[in-house]
Chains A and B, each alone.
Chain A
Amino acid sequence: MTDVVSTASRPGRRATSDVVRRLPEYLMIWVPLLLSAAHLISFSLWTIWISFTPSTLIPVSGWVGLRNYNSVLASRNWQIAFDNLLLFGSAFVLLSLIAGLLLAILLDQRIRGENVLRSIFLYPLAVSFVVTGTVWSWLLNPGIGIQKLVHDLGWTSFRFDWLIDRDMAIWTIVIAAIWQSSGFAMALFLAGLRSVDGDIIKAAQIDGAGPVRTYWRVILPTLWPITITVVVVQLQFAISAFDLVRALTNGGPGIATQLPALVVYDLMFQRGQLGRGAAAAVLMLLILLAVLLPYAAWRYVQRRQATHA
């Protein structure tokens, strides 16, 4: 207490002691931030370097130009993985967005037991992807899962064998991923819905708008910043998806459900081709940047508009 009084009376010393007082805060924020940034950047640069070397079992120096990139891009594995990423990424993001929004709107009706339901919908997020993948691999396995259950109940012509159907198997990953993460979208949307100004809703109601019209024309348009956040977060999950696929299909049947992260792991650690694996990792980074850079630009524009307004 006395300290505060004495520093307040002497402005020159106030600044220094302010720094001293806030030192723990700076340390808490900047040291980990700098460490992780250094970590991230140095290893990214290192991976980029490795991708241009002839490294196989262990990293070696040397220069092979774009050879690793050409061989990855020409491989069937990568081509399948890239097509799958486009399909999986768009289907998963779109569907989890719709599912999350629907859940949020339904929960927003001030129903009884909202807390319980919210926890239930959020709960899958607490489960690791490996567990999700394993459980769904049992549920979706036609020999032991849902198909068998329906058969045993008497409907013997029922077919649900996507897991072993190489054209449909990618959709099993979409299903499991949506189950896991639509709760996350729901939570964000719910927060958004709750922050809509009550007066606007009342005004809409006074103007004679029904509930559907109110949502569609008044409430949802306020949610689009949240929507973009959800899309970006889900997209980067989709691009880096690894554990879920590994546990659910392991890239199979055959190599029908390969995804870029699986290809990277496979090249680096199973095939002993570090250079090619690094090249695939760099390609993944480029895909991620294609999503994140526009987002960062958009955020920048948003902030400038906010300060100018």
Chain B
Amino acid sequence: MPITTTRRRLLAGSAAALALPAFARAQGAVKPRLTAISQWSAGSDGAAITALGKKFEEKGGVWQHSPVPGFTTEMMNKLRAQIIAGDPPACSQLKGPEIAAWSKIAPTVDLDAVVAAAGYEKVVAPDLAKLHKPGGKWIALPLQIYSTNMLFLSRRAMDKAKADKVPVTWADFNDLAEKMKASGVTFPVANGGTRADDGQKFEASLAGISPTAYRAAIMNLDKKALEGPEIKAAFAQVRKITNWMDPNVGAQPYATNLKRFVDGDMGMMIMGGWAQGVLRNAGFKFDDFMIAPGPSDNGKPVFLLNADAFIFWQRKEPDLQAGQALMAQLVMDPAIQTMYSQITGSIPVRTDVDLSGEGWSDGQRRTAAALKDAVANNQAVLSLAHNMAQENGLTAAMIDVFTEYVKNKTITPDQAVTRLAEAVEGAR
């Protein structure tokens, strides 16, 4: 008997799967269950997704999250194996253009109806929304947002340089760095030596010089823009930055140098908003540093978007389908986004969440305000260094150029422009 029921349910589920209202029907009939994989296993990321799982269970669901710790690559290898085996998870972490790339290798769930019902599209930055509906239909949902070009200022280094003005443009930034250098801050720019780090230096420079050029060259790979004067200017700015950095970092992560940054031995750090959480977890106080949007030559904030997301894979089991519907509702819910971002230090995807209340930091408020301004001025662009602007193959080819340029000071900006254009050509 139990076997027949399951089979009947399965049949009903698969027939209904073609139409979206199946979600609602399935939800009523079975206990929602969600199989999910992500790389979030420890720290604030692990805590946040565990909290999300609790909410899922509170709503009567069965939460089956299998974290794959380590690099995103490992998570992707697991996902690839499951897809090839014909057993994808009901939802998995995936971000940026990889959503479009992966959606071609296995069927995904059409989320248009749930998204429309929640009125979600109005409150998501347009460029971000586009990434999650590659074929014109929503198949993935963004979870939280970081900006990769926040400017962190060491309070002690600022005191040393007797400076109190937060730099707005790259010229301000360069002046302040010189001032810090002259007043005994050993390295005016705090840095790590990872590939993403080197990539962030470039994207922050270019987007700050001209978000329009960034969009054309990096996001749309326009050949003329790739060889344009803004790219050369960005490489020249990166060269200035590298001259203020500690060359002894090898391939260490930026976090290794946080103490020197707080101590005022290093002055400014261009890093994603997640550094705030890392600084706080390392025991530093909000008084030790300041956070502002990264330098922007037109004075209005430029926001380099980095967003984590969940993609939903098609499953025939009605309980998994019900789980997907429940998960989608939760991820879009402002209260859930608030809970999630308050744990990780990111900002909510929804631009209509009020961050003035308890539980938000100044850094998060400033980031959210910057996003709103940037969206209003069409200056919110997608981060290349964190795999939001291009697929991984192209991203890696471009970052090869940036990381070589950062590490090799004999490469001139002109040579770098040529190499970047060649790398893009070679990887396409």
Contact = CB atoms under 8 A, between A and B. Distances in A.
Interface of A: 56-58, 71, 74-77, 137, 141-143, 161, 163-164, 166, 249-250, 252-256, 266, 269-273
Contacts of A249: 250-251
Contact of B400 (A143, A250, A255, A272): A255
Contacts of A164: 247-250, 407
Task: Pick the 10 closest A-B CB pairs, nearest first.
Answer: A143-B248, A254-B404, A253-B407, A254-B407, A271-B393, A271-B396, A250-B251, A254-B403, A252-B251, A142-B248
Contact of A77 (B73, B400, B406): B400
A143 B101 CA distance: 41
Contact of A58 (B105, B249, B426): B105
Secondary structure at the B interface, as helix, strand, loop or mixed, is: helix
B105 A143 contact: no
Interface string B241-258: 000001111111000000
24 contacts: A56-B393, A57-B101, A57-B102, A58-B84, A71-B426, A77-B400, A161-B248, A166-B408, A249-B250, A250-B251, A253-B193, A253-B250, A253-B408, A254-B403, A255-B404, A256-B404, A269-B73, A269-B76, A270-B73, A271-B392, A271-B396, A272-B392, A272-B393, A273-B393
How many B residues are at the interface, by size bracket? 20 to 34
Interface in B401-421: 403-408, 419
A272 B397 CA distance: 12
A166 B407 contact: yes
Given A137-B250, A255-B403, 10 more contacts: A56-B393, A141-B248, A143-B249, A163-B250, A164-B247, A253-B408, A254-B403, A254-B405, A254-B406, A255-B404
Nearest to A270: B73
A99 to B, nearest CB: 26
B250 A252 contact: yes
Contacts of A269: 73, 76-77
A292 B229 CA distance: 51
Contacts of B83: 58
B373 interface: no
A252 B101 contact: no
Contacts of A75: 426
Contacts of B251: 137, 249-250, 252-253
A141 B404 contact: no
A253 B251 CA distance: 7
A253 B248 CA distance: 11
Contacts of B316: none
Contacts of B423: 76
Q: Which has the most chain A C-beta neighbours within 10 Å: B80, B251, B392? A: B251
Contacts of B45: none
B193 A272 contact: no
B250 A74 contact: no
B392 A141 contact: no
A57 B400 contact: no
B112 interface: no
A57 B84 CA distance: 11
B391 A272 contact: yes
A74 B248 contact: no
A254 B202 CA distance: 14
Contacts of B249: 143, 164
A252 B250 CA distance: 8
Nearest to A167: B408
B400 A76 contact: yes
B31 to A, nearest CB: 32
Interface in B99-134: 101-102, 105
A252 B77 contact: no
Contacts of B404: 254-256
Contacts of A141: 248, 250, 252
